[in-house]
């Protein structure tokens, strides 16, 4: 089912002419199912594409209603992402505690990453 979701974005992705084998990318993204999280680094590790291009591709998928962006905080001490996710940056508290190592993150805005949930 996941594969069919990402096929919706293929025509637009083809127009953008990303330097990537689009069929392989869509097959890779097809392994993600509804309610699963997609991290840009997972795609970067599997494809020779820069981070900006990956986020452009995910934005196109978001614009097509396939994924929804969320924000998580990466702990600078243990390098794990927070369990809590946020829809907008304004929702992030000024200080948070890492849910993995209890580190107090004084300026979480400096450690934000965008992740995507398949909808």
Looking at the chain, the number of H-run helices and the number of E-run strands are 5, 5
Closest by CA position to 111, among listed 37, 44, 45, 89: 89
pTM of the predicted model, to two decimals? 0.86
C-alpha radius of gyration, the chain, whole number: 15
Taking Cα atoms as reference points, which of 45, 51, 47, 61 lies closest to residue 13?
61
Q: How far apart are CA 85 and CA 70, in angstroms?
A: 6
In a structure prediction context, what are the per-residue pLDDT tens digits for the chain, which is 119 residues long?
A: 445 789 999 999 999 988 889 999 999 999 999 999 999 999 999 988 889 999 999 999 999 999 999 999 999 999 999 999 999 999 999 999 999 999 999 999 999 999 999 99
């Amino acid at each position: 089912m996941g594969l069919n979701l990402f096929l919706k974005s293929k025509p637009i992705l083809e127009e953008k002419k990303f330097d990537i084998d689009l069929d392989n990318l869509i097959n890779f993204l097809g392994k993600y199912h509804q309610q699963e999280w997609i991290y840009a680094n997972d795609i970067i590790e599997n494809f020779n594409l820069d981070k900006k291009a990956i986020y452009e591709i995910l934005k196109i998928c978001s614009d097509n209603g396939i994924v929804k962006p969320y924000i998580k905080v990466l702990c600078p001490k243990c390098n794990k992402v927070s369990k809590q996710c946020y829809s907008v940056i304004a929702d992030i508290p000024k200080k948070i505690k890492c849910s993995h190592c209890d580190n107090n993150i004084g300026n979480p805005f400096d450690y934000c990453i965008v992740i995507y949930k398949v909808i």
